[in-house]
Amino acid sequence: MTYWQKEEVYDIEQKRQVQSERLITTVNRVYNNVPFYKEKMKAMGIEPGDIKGIGDLDKLPFTTKQDLRDHYPYGLFAAPMEEVVRIHASSGTTGQPTVVGYTKNDIEMWSDMIARSFTAMGVTKKDIVQVAYGYGLFTGGLGAHYGTERLGAATVPISGGNTKKQIQLLQEFGSTVIACTPSYILYIGETMKNMGIDPRSTKLHTGIFGAEPWTEEMREQIESMFGINAMDIYGLSEVLGPGVGFECSARSGMHINDDHFVPEIINPDTLQALPEGQSGELVFTMITKEALPLLRYRTRDITTLHTGQCSCGRTLTRMDKIAGRSDDMLIIRGVNVFPSQIESVLLKVAETAPHYVIIVDRINNLDTLEVWVEVRPEFFTDAIKSLEKIEKHITAELFSLLGLHVKVKLVEPRSIERSEGKAKRIIDKRNK
Ligand code: ADP
Ligand code: K
Ligand code: ZN
């Protein structure tokens, strides 16, 4: 097996030892440098000396996105500005963006996390990697960039957008790997088809997609459209950026770089840590970061953890594909619905394209759910009868999965807005 760093295959005891040492260092660091943590720990009656190892993790306070916002922009930094060499911000998908910082060591570590991820997906220094994540305050572009350079691959820093140019570079530069959001690669593929170019005609062998939830059904569509391996990468700016978790060739969940980011799953209502194998909110404690080491950061992402060695040889904890964010979970007449569940139904239907929006409204005090999905051009007709038949079929499929009546509306090809970054899939008209 090829791996980037030996920590990826440490045995469990060795890893717990490393995690414990690093956690103790971090707790002292934040206690002494971040008034927010000192006050929180004092209020809970704990001192750094009470944390003797990783087994004491659940004694520590949680951190939320709101805490970062309350201390905007630098209030939770644990390093002086003279040691900070980079500042990024989250995309602000769910409100005001949060600001994050990195020291030189943080950037080095980040580069290694990306190099680990890309290595596990079969990328080598012989590859030409087209980085089509946005460069700028968003962590995606520069995060991937430093990592692919660290790996030694030829990095093409095109950033997101400029779709025609993306296609030109795919053809002329012979990129063998592309990194972007799953919705953007679909947009690129669709544009190629419209230009009369076969998306399977490029030299791409692997696509590395993340920054938003995507289903197995979406993976199948991307893989068959381009004839590539489509791999999942996970991250969030508050923890690092891309490279917190990555999929290996075994495709049995995503490995978490848990020698740097210790994961827990909690029940978001009771805040109790849940045993392995149970689904809940993912929480991270960053045990090596210098500029912004957060304790028990609540990601609001929903998943399940699995420990034990992977068939790839790595001992890094694995998590299931993210079901969605708790912010995106819709509660419709008492039923919990994730957009990813709707996506998995829509993408199994041959006549529809993977472009959809979910519209939530409240009519006569009753929540309603409506899905607009595009018809594939080759199935689009004026014959209302055949469109109605497809709508009925999707409504029935959604009912059998969710137990909920969802109004389905087929819309014309290319009428739903395309995304060069994270797609916006939910329009919530309630309380407005
Ligand atoms: P924002 O929270 O403003 O969108 P980020 O750019 O840091 O800021 O986005 C991080 C979030 O993106 C994660 O918390 C998660 O919800 C989502 N995300 C990132 N990668 C993936 C992935 N591979 N699968 C599912 N969701 C992902
Ligand atoms: K190279
Ligand atoms: Zn593995």
The residue contributing the CA closest to ligand 1 atom 9 is: 236
Peptide bond into 182 cis (omega under 30): no
Q: Is the CB of 116 under 6 A from ligand 1?
A: no
User: The domain spanning residue 345 has which CATH number?
Assistant: 3.30.300.30
Q: Is the CB of 143 under 6 A from ligand 1?
A: no
Q: Do both 190 and 128 map to the same domain? A: yes
Q: Is the CB of 299 under 6 A from ligand 1?
A: yes
The greatest distance separating any two alpha carbons of the chain, rounded to the nearest whole angstrom, comes to 73
Query: Distance between CA atoms of 411 and 375, rounded to whole angstroms?
Result: 6
**Do residues 424 and 211 make contact, with C-beta atoms less than 8 angstroms apart?**
no
Token output for 282: 């993912």
Which ligand has the nearest atom to the CA of 3? 3
Ligand 3 center to residue 250 CA distance, Å? 5
Token output for 114: 């990306």
Query: Distance between CA atoms of 239 and 75, rounded to whole angstroms?
Result: 16
**Residues written for the chain:** 432
Q: Do both 260 and 173 map to the same domain? A: yes
Q: What integer pLDDT is reported at residue 96 of this predicted model? A: 77
Q: Do both 242 and 339 map to the same domain? A: no
Which ligand has the nearest atom to the CA of 129? 2
Q: Is the CB of 92 under 6 A from ligand 1?
A: yes
SS3 for 296?
Answer: coil
Which of 298, 326, 354 terminates a domain? The answer is 326
Q: Do both 292 and 421 map to the same domain? A: no
The residue contributing the CA closest to ligand 1 atom 14 is: 236
Ligand 2 center to residue 12 CA distance, Å? 34
Q: Do both 247 and 148 map to the same domain? A: yes
| Confidence (pTM) | 0.95
The residue contributing the CA closest to ligand 1 atom 25 is: 213
Q: What integer pLDDT is reported at residue 1 of this predicted model? A: 74
Which of 281, 297, 326 terminates a domain? The answer is 326
Q: Do both 312 and 334 map to the same domain? A: no
Which ligand has the nearest atom to the CA of 281? 1
Token output for 43: 């209020």
Q: Is the CB of 343 under 6 A from ligand 1?
A: no
Strand bridging mode 426-428 / 280-286: unpaired
Token output for 326: 């708790």
Q: Do both 102 and 208 map to the same domain? A: yes
Q: Do both 314 and 334 map to the same domain? A: no
Q: What integer pLDDT is reported at residue 90 of this predicted model? A: 86
Ligand 1 center to residue 236 CA distance, Å? 5
- State the DSSP H helix or E strand holding residue 37, giving kind and residue range, or none if neither: helix 35-43
Each residue's pLDDT expressed in tens, for the chain with a length of 432 residues: 799 999 999 999 999 999 999 999 999 999 999 999 999 999 999 999 999 999 999 999 999 999 999 999 999 999 999 999 999 998 776 677 899 999 999 999 999 999 999 999 999 999 999 999 999 999 999 999 999 999 999 999 999 999 999 999 999 999 999 999 999 999 999 999 999 999 999 999 999 999 999 999 999 999 999 999 999 999 999 999 999 999 999 999 999 999 999 999 999 999 999 999 999 999 999 999 999 999 999 999 999 999 999 999 999 999 999 998 888 889 898 899 999 999 999 999 999 999 999 999 999 888 999 999 999 998 888 778 888 999 999 999 999 999 999 999 999 999 999 999 999 999 999 866
Q: Do both 156 and 182 map to the same domain? A: yes
Ligand 2 center to residue 246 CA distance, Å? 22
Task: Tell me the best of 88, 93, 94 to mutate to test the pocket of ligand 1, counting ligand atoms within 8 Å of each CB and taking the most.
Answer: 93
Work out which ligand 1 atom sits closest to the CA atom of 245: 23
In the chain, the number of structural domains is 2
Task: Tell me the best of 234, 302, 424 to mutate to test the pocket of ligand 1, counting ligand atoms within 8 Å of each CB and taking the most.
Answer: 234
Q: Is the CB of 301 under 6 A from ligand 1?
A: yes
Task: Tell me the best of 66, 133, 212, 257 to mutate to test the pocket of ligand 1, counting ligand atoms within 8 Å of each CB and taking the most.
Answer: 212
Q: Do both 98 and 208 map to the same domain? A: yes
Query: Distance between CA atoms of 224 and 222, rounded to whole angstroms?
Result: 6
Which of 326, 360, 388 terminates a domain? The answer is 326
Q: Is the CB of 159 under 6 A from ligand 1?
A: no
Amino acid letter for position 43: A
Q: How many CB atoms lie within 10 A of CB 272?
A: 10
Q: Do both 49 and 155 map to the same domain? A: yes
Residue (of 12, 2, 4, 63) closest to 317 by Cα position: 12
Q: Do both 32 and 110 map to the same domain? A: yes
Q: Is the CB of 90 under 6 A from ligand 1?
A: yes
Query: Distance between CA atoms of 285 and 295, rounded to whole angstroms?
Result: 5
State the residue range of the domain holding 419. 329-428
User: The domain spanning residue 307 has which CATH number?
Assistant: 3.40.50.12780
The secondary structure of 389-409, three-state, reads HHHHHHHHHHHHHHCCCCEEE
